[in-house]
Chains A and B, each alone.
Chain A
Amino acid sequence: MRLPDTLQYAVSALSRHRIRTVLILAAMSIGVASIVILTSLGQGAQRYVRGEFASLGTNLVIVFPGRKETTGGAPTMFIGETPRDLTLNDAQALKYHYAVRRVAPIFIGQAGVSYGGKEREVPILGSTTELLRVRHWRLSQGRFLPKGDINRATPVCVIGAKVKRELFGPENALGEWVRIGDRRFRVIGILASEGRSIGLDVQELAIIPAASAQMLFNTPSLFRILIEAKSRESVPAVISHVEQTIAERHQGEKDVTVITQDAVLATFDRILGALTMTVGGIAAISLVVAGILIMNIMLVSVSQRTAEIGLLKALGSPRKQITLLFLTEAFLLSAIGAVIGVAFGHAVSWLIGRAYPDLPLGAPLWAVVSSVVVAIGTGLLFAALPARRAARLDPVEALAHR
């Protein structure tokens, strides 16, 4: 039998049972579409996170006080020894290396910010002028913390958009004096940026000079130090520079934890990648359901078409050919279903992309290809049993079937 004839025979058999055919096509295409949609969402999330990280700052090295030892359970410190603080002087010392572009020490605390009888309890960041560039923030008004001696407690502050709104409303805030804790600060800038940074809502921040924060919170202990390396390649050099410098300053103890943007990003990437695979896999189960549906409907079809199969055998169709005819029907059902599913899935993820333009959606090619392959594979696999049953029918009995 020629291939076009085989296809045409299968099509004519399928078109005899429209509802049945449409049902299977729907099951197959929904399965494939859900794989496309879910993996495209997963991929979107992954790209979104990558984008966010890029906007947080590039080639970032983050230094935490205290050593986080993950190997072995034994405490690394001797009894009676407390982890040394990271101080402003440590941050100063880290500046002097060819691969370091900027260093921004960060104090963090919580304090009430008040103006004209209104008070808001917000997170306070203490840092230097470098922070703006390291974090890729933008200002809507005024300027950022001034350059100059890192140890000078200038009484100025930069506030987030929401803090400005809640304390000042539509009025001008620049140049006004606010009270933060028990000190007074002059507002010199307002942040335009939105989103979150190191776990804080940027709109809800107040930023003051590092030395002021040190006095306000009455502690020399930094929350972290952010370092921007000159390039991606120089990140490892910065890390060893940090470890060395801190060890020198801390009597030989490398009592800091250094992480890189890349490491954090890689972790997120892994998690989201695994998540994408998982939801894709779960959606693939629906293809198995469609496969079982194909098997059932083919079994019904074989028993309804018993006389036809008997006739084919009487006309000289060998078993192989009858198997092939039924497998062709299954192939057509699953292949057409898969194609509809891919189109439908792309349409839906396009619509979602329109509704959430921030999400860079797009089903990965591997997901599209493997969903089609799995759809056709399960279709053929589950049709194998009915096809075999058809091929093995006894021609005399089959012909007697009415």
Chain B
Amino acid sequence: MIELQQINRIFTVGDQQVHALDHVDLSIQSGEYLSIMGPSGSGKSTLLNIIGLLDRPTSGTYLLEQHNVTSMNDDTLAHTRRNKIGFVFQFFQLLPRLTALENVELPMVLEGIPPAERRQAATETLNTMGLGERLHHRPDQLSGGQRQRVAIARATIMKPAVILADEPTGNLDRHSGKDVIELLEQLNKTNMTLIIVTHDPEIGLRATRQIRMVDGRVMEDNHKR
């Protein structure tokens, strides 16, 4: 489903070039559960951003569901992102002026789905995540774990093919971190591809496939069992 071929991503800072991704080849099947680990600065976030269509590779080919996305224009990329990809961030990225429900509805608002329909979908999603009591709370009235669950609800409301989580537990205590991971794993069981970037080996080792990056290259690629 995700095919990366010879992906390079080079940042130019002043007259210095940083090779954040160095000829990365990676193939990910639909429904996989994958963790990406590696030292700081090894290119994990850069890889995730390219997979999530937030960033473009300097060179190489990226096929998403057999479509070459390297040549897509802004509109098509945005449309693909809206329908195929769900992001979960370390700092939640909820809009403070909106309630939990409104935050979750946001992708559907951008898509132009009528209010009644999206309200129902968002309510259901939040209910299944155990936030049925918190629909009308604003982010600052929620705990960290609850905020991340709202963010996950938002990432999944459009029923994307892939969920990309960049250190989703980085800002949470152990306990709520575990809750969040379990929630993501549940979603993976419904056949959503799940890619988690993490520094925590305990979390990384739960994935069925573990990738280790060093200096912009994929150094290890382990499948469980």
Question: Which of A's residues lie within 8 Å of B, judged by CB?
Answer: 1-2, 5, 9, 12-13, 15-16, 307-308, 310-321, 395-396, 399, 402
Is A316 within 8 A of B83, CB to CB?
yes
Q: Which of A13, A16, A307, A317 contacts B110 (CB 8 A)?
A: A317
Chain A proximity mask over B178-205: 1 for CB below 8 Å, otherwise 0: 0000000000000000000000000000
Is B54 within 8 A of A314, CB to CB?
yes
B55 an interface residue at 8 Å Cβ cutoff? yes
Is B74 within 8 A of A319, CB to CB?
yes
**Known interface pairs A12-B98, A314-B87, A318-B79; A396-B49 also in contact (CB < 8 Å):** yes
B38 an interface residue at 8 Å Cβ cutoff? no
Find residues 112-128 in chain B having any chain A CB closer than 8 Å to their own CB.
112, 114-115
Q: Which residues of A contact B112 (CB under 8 A)?
A: 1-2, 5
B97 an interface residue at 8 Å Cβ cutoff? yes
Is A13 within 8 A of B97, CB to CB?
yes
Alpha-carbon distance between A395 and B85 when the two chains are bound, in angstroms: 15
Alpha-carbon distance between A9 and B102 when the two chains are bound, in angstroms: 11
Of the candidate stretches B29-37, B88-96, B142-150, B211-219, the one touching chain A is B88-96
- Report B125 CB to chain A, min CB distance, Å: 15
Is B106 within 8 A of A315, CB to CB?
yes
* Extra inter-chain contacts (6) besides given A314-B81, A318-B74, CB under 8 Å: A2-B109, A313-B81, A315-B154, A317-B82, A318-B75, A402-B91
**Known interface pairs A316-B107, A318-B79, A321-B110; A396-B55 also in contact (CB < 8 Å):** yes
Is A399 within 8 A of B78, CB to CB?
no
**Known interface pairs A314-B81, A317-B78; A395-B54 also in contact (CB < 8 Å):** yes
Q: Which residues of B contact A402 (CB under 8 A)?
A: 91
- Report B171 CB to chain A, min CB distance, Å: 12
Is B93 within 8 A of A316, CB to CB?
no
Looking across the interface, which residue of chain B has its beta carbon closest to that of A319? B74
Alpha-carbon distance between A311 and B81 when the two chains are bound, in angstroms: 12
Looking across the interface, which residue of chain A has its beta carbon closest to that of B76? A318
Looking across the interface, which residue of chain B has its beta carbon closest to that of A310? B93
- Report A1 CB to chain B, min CB distance, Å: 5
Is B54 within 8 A of A308, CB to CB?
no
Q: Which residues of A contact B114 (CB under 8 A)?
A: 2
User: Closest 6 CB pairs between A and B?
Assistant: A316-B82, A318-B78, A316-B81, A395-B54, A311-B93, A318-B75
**Known interface pairs A314-B54, A316-B78, A316-B83; A399-B109 also in contact (CB < 8 Å):** no
Q: Which residues of A contact B83 (CB under 8 A)?
A: 316
Q: Which of B75, B98, B107 contacts A315 (CB 8 A)?
A: B107
Is A312 within 8 A of B110, CB to CB?
yes
Looking across the interface, which residue of chain A has its beta carbon closest to that of B80? A316
B52 an interface residue at 8 Å Cβ cutoff? yes
Q: Which residues of B contact A12 (CB under 8 A)?
A: 97-98
Looking across the interface, which residue of chain B has its beta carbon closest to that of A392? B74
Alpha-carbon distance between A321 and B75 when the two chains are bound, in angstroms: 10
Q: Which residues of A contact B52 (CB under 8 A)?
A: 314
Is B97 within 8 A of A307, CB to CB?
no
Alpha-carbon distance between A399 and B75 when the two chains are bound, in angstroms: 19
Looking across the interface, which residue of chain B has its beta carbon closest to that of A315? B107
Select the residue from A308, A318, A399 with max chain B CB neighbours within 10 A.
A318
Select the residue from B79, B80, B110 with max chain A CB neighbours within 10 A.
B110
Q: Which residues of B contact A9 (CB under 8 A)?
A: 109
Is B82 within 8 A of A320, CB to CB?
no
Alpha-carbon distance between A318 and B85 when the two chains are bound, in angstroms: 14
- Report A304 CB to chain B, min CB distance, Å: 12
Q: Which residues of A contact B80 (CB under 8 A)?
A: 316
Q: Which of A5, A314, A316, A319 contacts B79 (CB 8 A)?
A: A316
Chain A proximity mask over B25-49: 1 for CB below 8 Å, otherwise 0: 0000000000000000000000001
Looking across the interface, which residue of chain B has its beta carbon closest to that of A398? B54
Q: Which residues of B contact A313 (CB under 8 A)?
A: 54, 78, 81
Alpha-carbon distance between A320 and B91 when the two chains are bound, in angstroms: 26
Is B97 within 8 A of A315, CB to CB?
no
Q: Which residues of A contact B107 (CB under 8 A)?
A: 315-316
- Report B99 CB to chain A, min CB distance, Å: 11
Q: Which residues of A contact B154 (CB under 8 A)?
A: 315
Alpha-carbon distance between A34 and B68 when the two chains are bound, in angstroms: 57
The 15 sampled A-B contact pairs (Cβ below 8 Å) are: A1-B111, A12-B98, A15-B97, A16-B97, A311-B93, A313-B78, A314-B54, A316-B78, A316-B81, A316-B83, A316-B107, A318-B79, A319-B78, A395-B54, A399-B54
**Known interface pairs A313-B54, A314-B52, A395-B54; A5-B109 also in contact (CB < 8 Å):** yes
- Report A210 CB to chain B, min CB distance, Å: 85
**Known interface pairs A12-B98, A399-B93, A402-B91; A315-B54 also in contact (CB < 8 Å):** no
Looking across the interface, which residue of chain B has its beta carbon closest to that of A307? B93
- Report B98 CB to chain A, min CB distance, Å: 7
Alpha-carbon distance between A2 and B78 when the two chains are bound, in angstroms: 17
Is B110 within 8 A of A1, CB to CB?
yes
Alpha-carbon distance between A28 and B28 when the two chains are bound, in angstroms: 55
Alpha-carbon distance between A12 and B89 when the two chains are bound, in angstroms: 24
Alpha-carbon distance between A399 and B106 when the two chains are bound, in angstroms: 16
Select the residue from A308, A313, A316, A319 with max chain B CB neighbours within 10 A.
A316
Find residues 128-180 in chain B having any chain A CB closer than 8 Å to their own CB.
154
- Report B65 CB to chain A, min CB distance, Å: 16
- Report B95 CB to chain A, min CB distance, Å: 6
Q: Which residues of B contact A1 (CB under 8 A)?
A: 109-112
